[in-house]
Structure 1
Amino acid sequence: MKYIISVLLLIVSQMTNAASAFNIKPSAELVTPILPGLKIPDATLLTKVGVKTQLSQLLKNKPTVLVVYRGGWCPFCSRQLMGLQQLAPQLQQLGLQVLAVSPEQPQELQKNTENTLYQLLSDSDLSFSQNLGLAFYLDDKTAQIYRNKLGVNFVDFDGQEKVALPVPAVFLVDTQAMVHFQYTNPNYKVRLSNDVLLSAAKQMMQDLK
């Protein structure tokens, strides 16, 4: 009986992580993220407690630092989020809010208890990352290593189960959802520095006056 329950839980877990593929590139180097001057597409995201929320409504509140990251299981993402926590008071003083989106399920976002200054959101079906042009398939070797990590999405592609993730990215967006600054790097180990982000944020707020 315990074996049957374990198998059922595994199946449910995989179904929960299943994502539909409509814009997933073969590699991180081939992603085509939204550029400055274009608008961030609306998305239905989930809060940490699983409540659906429209991104467009959040963006209307105030100019936004929109961060897309791989998941709390990624040490480089965790380091980036810690940096955001330190920078958030200065960004808020400038008049910006910070939203951080990952493919992780809401219950995984709840494990990030250190974040108190910005909002974590779940793109658990990877649709937002695909609309942003950030989603890509992991190569088979890397996928084999990652496939047991929570928050990593499994995609049914031509009858085969593949693993997909977003390339980490940072967007500076105004209240009309227009992108003023964008940073992406196929090398997930290289992230935007706080100094550059703060400088870009100051420039955007100056331009919006």
Structure 2
Amino acid sequence: MKSIPALFRYLLSTRLTLSLLTCLLSAVLIQPAMANPIATDEVSVAPLMNGETIPDIQLTDSKGKSVSLKALSTEKPTVFFFYRGGWCPFCNNQLGQLKEIEPKLIELGYQLVGISPDSPEKLAAAAGERKLDYLLLSDANMEAAKAFGLAFFTSEKTTQTYLSRMKLENPLFKTPEGDERLVLPVPAVYITDTQGLIHFQYVNPNFRVRPAPKLILTAAELARQQG
């Protein structure tokens, strides 16, 4: 294919009319981006930012019931958090930290919602084992993670390690090169109002680092003041 400057010179040499030349150049320059909704790695994700609105995605709760994120967010301000799964020790620690601050979040008028690739059955087991009262949703097909810009392909080594050691049953996804890889969400926290508008987001490619509970509470308080 000709480069843009070479193509421009070629079109001029054919003495095309200005209007036709403009149309042809527009067709070349203004092409829709064929972006892969799953990032190549955890540092290449493009998450939703403050001021954007959360997508209307249907997920499944621990009882197998379909839940709309958009409808859920209209009920009351929401703290959404994405985690890798109940097999992850850092995620389990976060689940416990959020349980501790949930009463305060409720006082502020919030609901707490966790989203992970875990199946509804695993969510139910985790909630029972840890005595969690907040809502957990299954994103097994990574639709929410992709829509929030958090989904990424793990490396071949990581995929094999997690599948063998953690006995994960997560579905595998094909990379653009045709390799089958495990896809995970970058851990994240989003605070939204009843319009689904994002007031705060914390996204960290380092899965070992999660936001401090105090940071989440402070952000929630400030978001309520803005609302």
TM class by smaller structure: 0.7 to 0.9
In structure 2, the residue matched to 1:133 is 149
In structure 2, the residue matched to 1:45 is 59
Matched, 1:206 2:206: no
Matches within 5 A, 1:157-196: 157=175, 158-196=177-215
Residue identity matched to 2:203: T
TM-score under structure 2 normalisation? 0.80
| Shift of residue 150, structure 1, vs aligned partner | 2.8
| Shift of residue 151, structure 1, vs aligned partner | 5.4
TM-score under structure 1 normalisation? 0.86
Distance 1:115 1:58, change over 3 A: farther
1:111 partner SS = helix
Determine the C-alpha separation between the residues in 2 that align with 1:87 and 1:42.
Answer: 27
Matches within 5 A, 1:1-209: 22-112=36-126, 113=128, 114-148=130-164, 149-150=167-168, 152-157=170-175, 158-208=177-227
Question: For the aligned residues, what is the CA RMSD?
Answer: 1.4
CA contact (8 A) 1:103 1:153 kept: no
| Shift of residue 22, structure 1, vs aligned partner | 5.0
Greater per-residue helix proportion: 2
Gaps of 5+ in 2: 1-34
Residues matched between the structures, number = 188
Residue identity matched to 1:200: A
Q: Greater Rg, structure 1 or structure 2?
A: 2
Runs of 4+ in 1 over 6 A off after TM superposition: none
Determine the C-alpha separation between the residues in 2 that align with 1:188 and 1:62.
Answer: 28
2:75 partner SS = coil
Determine the C-alpha separation between the residues in 2 that align with 1:115 and 1:155.
Answer: 32
Determine the C-alpha separation between the residues in 2 that align with 1:57 and 1:192.
Answer: 26
Residue identity matched to 1:162: R
1:53 partner SS = strand
| Shift of residue 153, structure 1, vs aligned partner | 3.7
Q: Select the structure with the greater relative contact order (CA < 8 A; seq sep ≥ 6).
A: 1
CA contact (8 A) 1:126 1:153 kept: no
